[in-house]
Amino acid sequence: AVVIASDDALLADDLADLFSTPNFRVFTSKDVVGVEIGGAVKNVIALAAGMCEGLGLGTNAMSGLVTRGCAEMRRLGLALGARPSTLAGLS
């Protein structure tokens, strides 16, 4: 699944219809900043999680990293004008 973010809801809906298939779901959002922040920061968290796994740091370290990473993503998003609900979901 992916998210198309645009201030233009009609454009986002048209693009979602164009790219959606029975096996590929496309969601839309008007929160462009939130989708950009969530999409970028989640990749950084994923890289760090892979490093935790590779270093054998265990599930507690991974849990702490993901929890703090999500909290920092939310703080950054709010500071830049994103909606909290966008950062809590698929973005």
pLDDT tens by residue, 26-62: 999 999 999 999 999 999 999 999 999 999 999 999 9
User: Residues 69-87: pLDDT tens digits?
Assistant: 999 999 999 999 999 999 9
Task: Estimate the share of the chain in helix, then strand, then coil, as percent rounded to the nearest 5.
Answer: 65, 10, 25
CA distance 51 to 12: 36
The sign of the torsion formed by the CA atoms of 38, 41, 42, 43 equals positive
Residue 91 has pLDDT above 90, yes or no: no
**pLDDT value at position 59?**
95
CA distance 29 to 9: 8
User: Residues 62-71: pLDDT tens digits?
Assistant: 999 999 999 9
User: Encoding tokens for residue 10?
Assistant: 């009609």
Q: Which of 16, 28, 42, 57 is catalytic?
A: 42
| 42 carries an active-site annotation | yes
Three-state DSSP state, 2: strand
